[in-house]
Chain A
Amino acid sequence: MARVLVVDDEPNIVLSLEFLMEQAGFEVTTAEDGEAALRLIAESAPDLVLLDISLPGIGGFEVLERLRGDPAHRHLPIIMLTAHGREVEREKGLALGADDYITKPFSTRALVDQVRALLDGDT
């Protein structure tokens, strides 16, 4: 069973993503800040990360950058899921190596489809 890590500091959003991913048949872990996210990735090596940008402490962009700089996680599928909707931010996310950049609020169906697509392509 593929494992998805949800990183977000907004409890209700985490709650909704947790529900959506479990329902889609994935195992879900959650983190509410960048530091916890990096620790969990190192410990449990998830198959995909849903990553918010505005996080307490280490922000989403920095988490992404660190992961891409680490050979072990260079190909880890990462979807930026964020309320930052400006084009510059989207470009920055993709340039840093995110596999996708989805703006909140998002369509639940499209999100699940995209997660599935990335995990299928990966395996």
Chain B
Amino acid sequence: MRDDVVVLVIAFGYLALLFVIAAWGDRRAEQGRSVIGSPTVYALSIAVYCTAWTFYGSVGRAAEAGPGFLLIYLGPTLAMLMAPLVIRKMVRIATTHRITSIADFISARYGKSAGLGALVALIALVGTTPYIALQLKAITLSHAVLVDYVPESPMATAEASFWTDRSFWVALVLAVFIILFGTRHLDASERHEGMVAAIAFESLVKLAAFLAVGIFTVFVLYQGPGDLFRQVAASPALTDALSLESVPGGALGWVGMLVLAFLAFLGLPRQFQVLVVENVDERHIQRAAWLFPLYLLVINLFVIPIAMAGLLGGSGEDPDSFVLTLPMAAGVDGLPVLVFIGGLSAATGMMIVETIALSTMVSNQLVMPLLLRSRHLHRGHSGSLANRVLGIRRVAILGILLLGYSYHALIGDAYSLVTIGLVSFAAVAQFTPALLIGLYWRGANRLGAGLGMSAGILVWAWTLLIPGFAQSGWLNADLLTQGPIGIDWLRPYALFGLEDWDIYTHSLFWSLAANIGLLIGVSLFSRASPLEQTQAALFTEALHPRLDQTSLWRGHTLRGELRALLDRYLGTAATQRVFADHAPDDADDQSASTALVARAEQALAGALGNASARVLIDSVVRGEALDLDAILRILDTTSETLEMNRRLEQKSRELARIGQELREANDRLRELDRLKDEFVAMVSHELRTPLTSIRAFAEILRDNRDLTEQRREHFLDVVVRESQRLSRLIEEILDLARLESGRLTLEPHRLDLAALTRQALDAMHHPLEERGIALEIACEVDTAEVIGDPDRLEQVIINLIDNAGKFADAGMPRISLRLTRHRRGFRLAVADNGPGIDESERERVFEKFHQLPHPDAGTTRSRPRGSGLGLPISRGIVAHLGGRLWIENDCDLGGACLVMELPEAPAISPTPPDMLLSQ
């Protein structure tokens, strides 16, 4: 037995700590040094998902139904993985439209419908009050266990009266906390920084407490996980209870539970509050998308081990209390208190956020629209109504918590923790069709959403809520077995004969079928008002880049009227802030700009919700909001502009590419032009040289009749030789021109390259001898059949020998000639004993008019100069015959080596060989 006073002091001390943290968070926010401007705090605040239900109930559920409890966490994991898509869009919309709650969001999406907002608020209230009750029940239960626990004895949980029930006082303290930190601003779309800081802190506390129990159980009570699992394996009853087969409803149950958790995570008012309303930076979603699932994984790590250990203990305690009873049974001091605080933090965190979200809905979606309808409020001259709105919210907070307490005190005991949680989940899941479909399908309209949601919640009530009452004995249990007044197919757990599903999957299936079916069906066959269409467009296109800059009003009003309206509902300071951004110097009798009207509506929406804001603005503005056509035009023009920009960009890229190509082509042309000029200059230079000699000697002969006979003959001989040289040069230039233009006429025949080489050698015999060049010949094949023009090919061979002679050593010139077979062709290599040719020079040898520098110029005059066209022409001819011509070093004689390679003629074929060469 633990001292109740100590526990009370610790519990309320913990709550006091929350006040300090929240106050600190708010102070920091006022100083502009926000503590919640971090993605980690954002992710931790999302962990408000893990309530007392997680803290105590997961173990309970694991003990009863095996690993099925994990699905409750896989659903949100799935949702968070999609967060960068879905939640980012919701956050963007909430920021633009100053959304205050999920009810406001759905109301705003469907034409700022007050009715739809009220419906969502009501469902949320009905659906989640039991959930708040659940938290209170957990606090009471855990407190009772902590204080009154006597091992091996049944526990009394019910308290005699509320003033001795600790959870009643916890609820009251929380009411104070929420009123202090949750209603600081009238603008509910503003962040509650202190509250979020406290929630993030609570998430850490409950995680730490749960891990502490887990580690204690596995490593202190047992010798590690191996030991624990061995002991479980020894008991077949336990193994069955913890196996996958024990999940209710089998595979279908798994899917149902996963979908339920997924939808509830998006539809729960408190999750919407932390995910969307309290989000300060869209980029935080990125980190939360993996950090929050990680949190879920860690906090669930020890659920099964604790459940196993609890079941092994076998003392028959409520599995929901294993977390507490395990350490207490072991007689450890301190740890149970830590666990109690962990559970308390899980419970209070949920209650704080849920209550804020619900109170905002109650004031903005339920009370304000009613008050606005009664005209006397509107005409009142009591100055600012801001305090009245805040007052409504504060009363609502108190009311919600008391409602939760009453539920807990009156009927809470009839349900297990898990049942209450899942029934709540199934209720809020009814929001998600309107929410998600409305986010992506512009056609979804108010009537469809309203009817769908109503039908969904009715089915929910019939299949989950009412049977619950029946099971508690409040209604005749015959309803479950025989159906209402004996109508068999209306049995709540087997609607339309759908039997053997677990009750949650069954309920979810039918309620969602009704909900989605009506939403889509009715939307398809009914007309939406212009405002609905406008809002639908704004929501579905929320991520459209330019939309938020567009002014959506085109009505007229005076600044004075607008100022008076805002003054009354927001207070003077807030009104000043709105007007400060829009021509603050303009007089009150001037008309308000559309931007100012839009801004005023946003400010009102932040405080009172979108539906009420629209009613108020409508009361002073003559004219109407931009209709759907205008919105669509804006969207179309922007998307047209975007498309146009994209096309322009593409075009300009194309143009740039074409420009680049043109530049390159131009450069190539210039280069060709330059080469042509150079070629012409070189040709003219080469032609002038023999011409110079011819003219000079002709003039000398003309002017000197008295020359000796010997000289005369010498000079005439020069004229003749230079004329021949000139003719040769002209022939070569023409050959080259023909080669380059592809008009060279070759007469290809099958011929023997060996014989042709011998023939060329005969022709060169004399000139080589004259120049003192020694020649070696190595013919490794008897015949070498190739296809070629014999005259041209002989010209090439002579040219090769001639050039080798030029490259050869000046003193002792030697060249060698070798004809070999190489693969499917023949090689004629003409080597010399000269100095060889540098790698860099080798290709230049084949350039037109290229003259090799004579290393020994000036010492020998006998060396004949060529035109510099022989090798380029030879290469052209060889290429025409399908062969190659190149120069290399490292040949037999150590100098350069000209190599010609020609393909072997095809084996005797009936086709004339020239066919092979026709171009």
Contacts and interface: CB of A to CB of B under 8 A. Distances in A.
Contacts of A35: 858
B861 A32 contact: yes
Given A19-B700, A20-B696, A108-B699, A86 B691 contact: no
A17 B700 CA distance: 10
B858 A105 contact: no
Interface string A79-91: 0000111100000
A15 B694 contact: no
Contacts of A109: 699, 703
Contacts of A23: 704
A107 B703 CA distance: 12
Given A10-B689, A105-B694, A56 B703 contact: no
Contact of B857 (A17, A19, A56): A56
Contact of B853 (A54, A57, A83): A57
A58 B692 CA distance: 22
A12 interface: yes
A9 B696 contact: no
Interface residues of A, number: 30
A34 to B, nearest CB: 10
A9 B685 contact: no
Contacts of A32: 857-858, 861
B789 interface: no
Contacts, number: 75
A13 interface: yes
B691 A104 contact: yes
Chain B interface extent, by class:
20 to 34
A98 B696 CA distance: 22
Interface in B847-876: 853-854, 857-858, 861, 865
A44 interface: no
Interface string B696-736: 11011001100000000000001001100000000000000
Interface in B674-701: 681, 684-686, 688-689, 691-697, 699-700
Given A12-B718, A15-B718, A84-B685, A36 B858 contact: yes
Nearest to B687: A83
A16 interface: yes
A47 interface: no
Given A20-B696, A104-B691, A105-B694, A9 B718 contact: no
A107 B702 CA distance: 12
B696 A16 contact: yes
Scoring B692, B857, B861 by chain A CB atoms within 10 A of each residue's CB, the highest score goes to: B692
Interface in B142-162: none
Contact of A105 (B691, B703, B857, B865): B691
A29 to B, nearest CB: 14
A89 B623 CA distance: 85
B201 to A, nearest CB: 87
Nearest to A86: B681
A104 B685 CA distance: 9
Interface in A33-80: 33, 35-36, 54, 56-57
Nearest to A89: B681
A36 B697 CA distance: 25
Scoring A12, A13, A36, A85 by chain B CB atoms within 10 A of each residue's CB, the highest score goes to: A12
A32 B860 CA distance: 10
A121 interface: no
Interface in B755-771: none
A33 B854 CA distance: 11
A56 B853 contact: yes
Contacts of A12: 693, 697, 718, 721-722
Contacts of B718: 12, 15-16
Nearest to B711: A19
B854 A56 contact: yes
B858 A83 contact: no
A19 B681 CA distance: 29
Contact of B684 (A9, A85, A106, A107): A85
Contacts of B686: 83
B697 A83 contact: no
A79 B689 CA distance: 17
Contacts of A108: 695-696, 699-700, 703
Contacts of B695: 105-106, 108
B685 A83 contact: yes
Nearest to B862: A11
B324 to A, nearest CB: 104
Nearest to A84: B685
Contacts of B685: 54, 83-85
A58 to B, nearest CB: 11
Nearest to A88: B681
Nearest to A31: B858
B857 A57 contact: yes
Contacts of A104: 688-689, 691-692
Contacts of A106: 692, 695-696
Interface in A89-118: 103-109
Contacts of A83: 684-686, 688-689, 692
Given A12-B693, A16-B693, A105-B688, A33 B858 contact: yes
Interface in B819-846: none
Interface string B99-134: 000000000000000000000000000000000000
Interface of B: 681, 684-686, 688-689, 691-697, 699-700, 703-704, 718, 721-722, 853-854, 857-858, 861, 865
Given A105-B696, A108-B695, 8 more contacts: A12-B697, A16-B693, A23-B704, A57-B857, A103-B688, A104-B692, A105-B688, A106-B692
Q: Ordered nearest first, which 7 A-B pairs have the shortest CB separation?
A: A83-B688, A16-B696, A104-B692, A56-B857, A12-B693, A105-B695, A105-B692
25 contacts: A10-B692, A12-B693, A12-B721, A12-B722, A13-B693, A15-B718, A16-B693, A17-B696, A19-B700, A33-B857, A56-B857, A57-B853, A83-B684, A83-B688, A84-B685, A85-B685, A85-B688, A86-B681, A104-B691, A106-B695, A107-B699, A108-B695, A108-B700, A109-B699, A109-B703
